[in-house]
C-alpha cells in the first residue's frame, strides 16, 4: 500500500482573509504527511504577507512565486515543480468545506490504485452553494450535457479540486488559456482520453464563504469553457 502523503497546491489571488483559515484547517484536519504550497502570481498580492507569516509558523508551509505566467494553470505548474510528494491535490483557497473530503479522496486513490480523483459538486453527496448565480447555472448545465453526450465518468469536469499522481499532471499537455479554472475542464477530458485510472468523490462546496477576490468574468470564461466543451465532445466521440 502506498504511503499516505500529499502536496497541497493553493493558488492565491488577493485572499488574505481566507488563506489563514484554510491553512490552519488543513493543518488541524489532515493527520497524514503533507505539505502546503501557497503559490502567488504577483508580489502585490494582498495575501502574500499572510502567506509568509504562515510559512514561518508551520514548517510544512512554503510560499512559491509563479514566475512562469499569470493564471491558475501556471500557478499549479509552479507548485507541482516544487512538490516533494508523488500525490498532489489542487485546492481552492476560498472553499473550506472540501477539506473534509481529502482523506477519503486519497484513500480512494490508494486503495483502488487510481491515477486521478476529481471532486464533484454534482453527484450524490455533493453540493454547490454561493458564487456567481450565472456561473453556477452555466456550470451545472454544461456538466450535465457534457456527461450525457460523452458518457465521461465525471459529473463535474470543471471543478478545480482534483487529486492525482504528480506524473499525471506532468504528462498531460494542457493548452487552455489562463482564464479562471478553464484548464481543469481540459485536464478532466485529457486524463480520460489518455486512459488513466480515474474516479470522482463528492464535495460540499461553498464559494467565497470568507470573501476574497474573484477573477470571474462571464464573457471570457464562457468562451474558453465552451471551446473545451465542444473540443471534448468531438475528441471523445472520435476516440472512444
Task: List phi, psi (to 5°) of 210.
Answer: -115, 25
Q: 225: which 3 cell numbers?
A: 469553457
Burial of residue 56 (number of CB atoms within 10 Å: 0-12, 13-18, 19+) = exposed
Cα separation, 127 vs 204, in Å, equals: 4
Write the CB contacts of 46 (distance below 8 Å, at least 6 apart in sequence): 14, 15, 16, 213
Cα separation, 66 vs 50, in Å, equals: 17
Classify the phi-psi angles of 151: left when phi > 0, otherwise alpha if psi is within -120 to 50, otherwise beta: left
Cα separation, 190 vs 194, in Å, equals: 6
pLDDT value, residue 217: 61
Q: Is the CB of residue 62 less than 8 Å from the CB of residue 55? A: yes
The CATH number of the domain covering residues in 5-239: 3.90.550.10
Q: Is the CB of residue 7 less than 8 Å from the CB of residue 90? A: no
pTM, entire model: 0.92
Task: List phi, psi (to 5°) of 233.
Answer: -60, -45
**pLDDT digit string (tens) for the chain, length 240 residues:** 578 999 999 999 999 999 999 999 999 999 999 999 999 999 999 999 999 999 999 999 999 999 999 999 999 999 999 999 999 999 999 888 889 999 999 999 999 999 999 999 999 888 887 666 777 888 899 999 999 999 999 999 999 999 999 999 999 999 999 888 899 999 999 999 999 999 999 998 776 555 444 555 667 778 899 999 999 999 999 887
pLDDT value, residue 208: 53
Show contacts of 126-130: CB within 8 Å, 24+ apart: 126/155, 126/156, 126/202, 126/203, 126/204, 126/205, 127/203, 127/204, 127/205, 128/205, 128/207, 129/205, 129/206, 129/207, 130/205, 130/206, 130/207, 130/208, 130/209
pLDDT value, residue 1: 52
Amino acid at each position: 500500500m502506498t504511503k499516505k502523503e500529499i502536496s497541497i497546491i493553493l493558488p492565491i489571488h488577493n485572499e488574505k482573509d481566507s488563506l489563514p483559515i484554510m491553512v490552519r484547517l488543513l493543518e488541524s484536519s489532515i493527520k497524514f504527511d503533507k505539505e502546503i504550497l501557497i503559490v502567488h502570481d504577483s508580489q502585490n498580492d494582498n495575501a502574500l504577507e499572510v502567506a509568509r507569516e504562515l510559512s514561518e509558523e508551520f514548517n510544512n508551509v512554503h510560499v512559491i512565486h509563479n514566475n512562469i505566467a499569470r493564471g491558475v494553470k501556471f500557478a499549479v505548474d509552479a507548485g507541482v515543480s516544487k512538490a516533494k510528494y508523488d500525490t498532489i491535490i489542487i485546492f481552492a483557497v476560498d472553499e473550506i468545506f472540501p477539506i473534509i473530503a481529502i482523506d477519503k479522496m486519497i484513500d480512494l486513490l490508494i486503495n483502488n490504485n487510481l491515477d486521478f480523483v476529481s471532486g464533484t459538486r454534482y453527484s450524490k453527496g455533493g453540493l454547490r452553494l454561493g458564487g456567481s448565480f450565472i456561473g453556477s447555472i452555466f456550470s451545472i448545465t454544461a456538466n450535465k450535457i457534457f456527461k450525457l453526450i460523452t458518457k465521461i465518468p465525471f459529473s463535474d469536469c470543471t471543478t478545480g479540486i482534483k487529486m492525482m499522481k504528480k506524473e499525471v499532471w506532468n504528462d498531460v499537455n494542457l493548452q487552455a488559456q489562463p482564464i479562471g479554472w478553464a484548464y481543469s475542464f481540459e485536464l478532466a477530458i485529457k486524463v480520460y482520453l489518455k486512459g488513466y485510472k480515474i474516479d470522482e468523490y463528492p464535495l460540499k462546496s461553498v464559494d467565497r464563504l470568507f470573501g476574497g477576490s474573484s477573477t470571474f468574468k462571464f464573457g471570457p470564461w464562457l468562451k474558453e469553457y465552451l471551446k473545451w466543451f465542444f473540443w471534448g465532445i468531438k475528441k471523445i466521440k472520435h476516440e472512444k
